[in-house]
Chains A and B, each alone.
Chain A
Amino acid sequence: MNSFIELKNVKKTYKIGEQKFNALDGIDLSINQGEFVVILGPSGAGKSTLLNLLGGMDKVTSGSIKIGDNDIAKYGDKELTRYRANEVGFIFQFYNIMPTLTVDENVNLIKDVTNTSKNSKEVLKSVGLSRHANKFPQELSGGEQQRVSIARAIMKNPKILLCDEPTGALDSKTGVEVLKLLREQADNDTTVIIVTHNSLIADIADRVIKIKNGKVESNEIIKHPKQIDEVKW
Chain B
Amino acid sequence: MLNKKMYRDIKKNLSQFITIFLMVMIGIMAYSGIEAYMNGMKKTSNKFYTENNLQDLNVMGPLTKNDLDKIKKLDYVKDAEAKLSITGLTDNDKTLLINLIESNNISKFYVVDGEKFNKDKSGVWLDEFYAKENNIKVGDTILVKYQNIELHEKVLGLINVPDHLYDVRDESELFPDRKEFGFAYLSMEEFKTMDFFYSSIMVDVDNIDKRDNVKNEIEDNIDNALAIINIEDTSSYTAYQGEIDEGKTYVGVFSGLFLFIAMLSVITTMTRVVKKQRTQIGTLKALGFSNYKILFHYIGYGFWISIIASIVGLLLGYFFIGKIFIGLEMAMFEIPNGHPVMNSSSYIVALLVILVVSLITYITGRTILRENPAETLRNKIPSIKGNVLNITKHKIFKKFKFETIWNIRDIIRNKMRTITGIAGVVGCSMLIVCALGMLDSMNFFVDLQFERIYNFDYKLNIKENISEHELNILTNEYGNYTSQTLGIEIKNEGIRESNNIFVTDASNYVRFVNKKNKFINKPKDNGIFVTYKLAKNKGYKLGDKITWHIYGDKTYYTSKIIGFNKDPQNQNVTMTKKYLESLGIKYTPDSIYTNKNLKNIKEIKNIESIQDIDALKDGMNNMLSMMKTMLILIIFVAIVLGSIIIYNLGILSYTEKQYQFSTLKVLGFKDSQIKKIFIKQNNWIAIISIIIGLPLGYYLTDWLFKTAIEEHYDFGASINTITYVIAALGTFIISYLVSKFLARKIKNIDMVTSLKGNE
Q: Which residues of A contact B283 (CB under 8 A)?
A: 92, 96-98
Q: Which residues of chain A have C-beta atoms less than 8 A from B285's C-beta?
A: 57, 81, 84
Whole-angstrom distance from the CB of B373 to the nearest CB of chain A?
A: 4
Contacts of B375 in A (CB 8 A): 58
Residues of B with C-beta under 8 A to A156: 288
Tell me the complex Cα distance, A83–B373, Å.
13
CA distance A152 to B1 in the complex (A): 13
State whether A98 and B291 are in contact (beta carbons under 8 Å apart), knowing that A57-B286, A57-B373, A58-B372 are contacts in the complex.
no
CB neighbors of A among B263-305 (8 A): 279-280, 282-283, 285-291, 293
Instruction: Mark contacts of A129-168 with chain B using CB atoms, 8 A cut-off: 1 yes-contact digit, 0 otherwise.
Output: 0000000000000000000000010001000000000000
- Are A59 and B372 CB-contacts (below 8 A) given A85-B287, A113-B289? yes
Interchain nearest-CB distance for A133 vs B (Å): 14
B676 within 8 A of A: no
Assess whether A58 is in contact with B374, with CB atoms less than 8 Å apart. Answer: yes
| Distance, CA A112 to CA B373, complexed state (A) | 18
Residue of B nearest to A82 (CB): B288
Say whether A55 faces chain B, with CB atoms less than 8 Å apart.
yes
Residue A109 lies at the interface, judged by CB distance under 8 Å to chain B: yes
Whether A109 contacts B287 by the Cβ 8 Å rule is yes
Contact residues of B between 645 and 689, Cβ < 8 Å to A: none
Asked if B374 and A52 make an inter-chain contact with CB atoms under 8 angstroms apart, the answer reads yes
B288 close to A108 (CB less than 8 A) = no
A84 / chain B contacts, CB cutoff of 8 Å = 285-288, 373
Q: Which residue of A lies closest to B289 (CB)?
A: A113
Q: Given A81-B290, A81-B291, A82-B288, are A96 and B279 neighbors across the interface (CB < 8 Å)?
A: yes
Chain A residues lying within 8 Å of B756, measured Cβ to Cβ, are 94
A85 lies within 8 A of B374 (CB): no
B477 adjacent to chain A (CB < 8 Å): no
Contact A52 B1 (CB under 8 A): no
Are B372 and A152 in contact, CB atoms less than 8 angstroms apart?
no
Chain B positions 146-183 with a Cβ under 8 Å from a chain A Cβ:
none
* B1 x A108 contact (CB < 8 A): yes
> Mostly helix, strand, loop or mixed at chain B's interface?
helix
Stretch at the interface among B2-10, B117-125, B612-620: B2-10
Indicate whether A38 reaches chain B with its CB closer than 8 angstroms: no
A77 interfacial contact with B, CB 8 Å = yes
| A residues near B1, Cβ cutoff 8 Å | 101, 105, 108-109, 111-112
Residue from A52, A98, A105, A109 with most neighbouring chain B CB atoms (10 Å): A98
Identify the closest chain B residue to A155 (Cβ): B287
A97: chain B residues at CB < 8 Å are 283
A114 at the interface (CB under 8 A from B): yes
A140 to chain B, nearest CB (A): 15
Q: Does A86 contact B (CB under 8 A)?
A: yes
Contacts of A77 in B (CB 8 A): 291
Find the residue from B285, B287, B293, B373 having the highest chain A CB count within 10 A.
B287
Residues of A with C-beta under 8 A to B290: 78, 81, 85, 113
Q: Give chain A's interface residue range (CB within 8 Å of chain B).
A: 35 or more
- CB of B5 within 8 A of CB of A112, answer no
| B312 part of interface (Cβ distance < 8 Å) | no
C-alpha spacing A112/B288, complex, angstroms: 9
A52 to B376, CA, bound (A): 12
Q: In whole angstroms, how far apart are the Cα atoms of A59 and B373 in the complex?
A: 10
B377 contacts the other chain (Cβ, under 8 Å)? yes
B759 is an interface residue with CB less than 8 A from chain A: yes
Chain A residues within 8 Å of B5, by CB: 98, 100-101, 105, 109
Contact A57 B372, CB 8 Å, known A85-B287, A112-B2, A114-B288:
yes
Assess whether A110 is interfacial by the CB under 8 Å rule.
yes
Q: How many angstroms from the CA of A94 to the CA of B279 in the assembled complex?
A: 11
Report B-chain residues with C-beta under 8 Å of the C-beta of A36: none
B395 contacts the other chain (Cβ, under 8 Å)? no
B394 at the interface (CB under 8 A from A): no
> For residue B8, which residue of chain A has the nearest CB?
A100
Is B469 engaged at the interface, CB distance under 8 Å to the other chain?
Answer: no
| Chain A residues, Cβ within 8 Å of B287 | 84-85, 90, 109-110, 113, 152
Could you mark each residue 742-759 of chain B with 1 if its beta carbon is under 8 Å from any beta carbon of chain A, else 0?
000000000000001001
Select A112's contact among B9, B286, B293, B377, beta carbons within 8 Å: B293
Question: Chain B residues near A99 (CB, 8 Å)?
Answer: 12
User: A105–B9 Cα gap in the complex (Å)?
Assistant: 14
Q: How far is the CA of A226 from the CA of B1 in the complex (A)?
A: 41
- Do A81 and B288 have beta carbons less than 8 Å apart? yes
A90 touches B286 (CB 8 A): yes
Cα(A98)–Cα(B4), bound, Å: 11
Q: Which residues on the A side are within 8 Å of B2 (C-beta)?
A: 109, 112
Interface residues of A in 44-77 (CB under 8 A from B): 48-49, 52, 55, 57-59, 77
Q: Which residue of A lies closest to B288 (CB)?
A: A85
A112 to B2, CA, bound (A): 8
Q: How far is the CA of A55 from the CA of B287 in the complex (A)?
A: 10
Q: Min CB distance, B288 to chain A, in Å? A: 3
A45 CB to nearest B CB, Å: 16
B377:A96 contact, CB within 8 angstroms: yes
Interface string of B390-412 (1 = CB under 8 A from A): 00000000000000000000000
Distance A156 CA – B286 CA, assembled complex (angstroms): 13
Most buried by B among A83, A108, A109: A109
Q: What is the minimal beta-carbon distance from A118 to any residue of chain B, in angstroms?
A: 15
**CB distance A55 to B286 under 8 Å?**
yes
Q: Give bound CA distance, A156 to B291, whole Å.
A: 19
Closest residue of A by beta carbon distance from B1: A109
CB distance from A120 to the nearest CB of B (A): 11
Q: Which of A52, A55, A101, A112 has a CB less than 8 Å from the CB of B289?
A: A112
Question: Separation in Å of the B438 CB from the closest CB of chain A?
Answer: 47
Q: How far is the CB of B291 from chain A (nearest CB, A)?
A: 7
Most A Cβ at <10 Å: residue of B11, B288, B290, B373? B288
CB contacts (< 8 Å) of B372 on chain A: these are 52, 57-59
Q: Which residues of A contact B279 (CB under 8 A)?
A: 96
| Cross-chain contact A100 with B9 (CB below 8 angstroms) | yes
Q: Which residues of A contact B373 (CB under 8 A)?
A: 52, 57-58, 84
CB-CB nearest in chain B for A56? B373
Q: In whole angstroms, what is the CA distance A90 to B373 when docked?
A: 12
Question: Could you tell me the distance in whole angstroms from the C-beta of A178 to the nearest C-beta in chain B?
Answer: 18
How many angstroms from the CA of A100 to the CA of B2 in the assembled complex? 10
Contact with A along B478-494 (1 / 0, CB 8 A): 00000000000000000
- Whole-angstrom CA separation of A81 from B12 in the bound complex: 29
Q: Which residue of A lies closest to B282 (CB)?
A: A96
Q: CA of A90 to CA of B283 in the docked complex: distance in angstroms?
A: 9
Residues of B within 8 A of A113 (CB): 287-290, 293
Residue on B nearest A52 in the bound complex, by CB: B374
Complex CA gap A110/B1 in Å reads: 9
Q: Give Cα A99 to B4, complex, Å.
A: 12
24 CB contacts below 8 A, A to B, read A55-B286, A57-B285, A57-B286, A57-B374, A58-B372, A78-B290, A82-B288, A84-B285, A85-B289, A85-B290, A88-B288, A90-B286, A94-B759, A96-B282, A98-B5, A100-B5, A100-B9, A105-B1, A111-B1, A113-B287, A113-B288, A113-B290, A113-B293, A156-B288
Which 10 residue pairs of A and B lie closest in terms of their CB atoms, listed nearest first? Answer: A85-B288, A100-B8, A84-B288, A52-B374, A57-B373, A57-B374, A96-B283, A58-B374, A113-B288, A58-B372
18 extra interchain contacts, Cβ-Cβ under 8 A, other than A84-B285, A109-B287? Answer: A55-B286, A57-B286, A57-B374, A59-B372, A78-B290, A81-B289, A90-B287, A92-B283, A92-B377, A99-B12, A100-B11, A101-B1, A109-B1, A110-B287, A112-B1, A112-B289, A113-B288, A114-B288
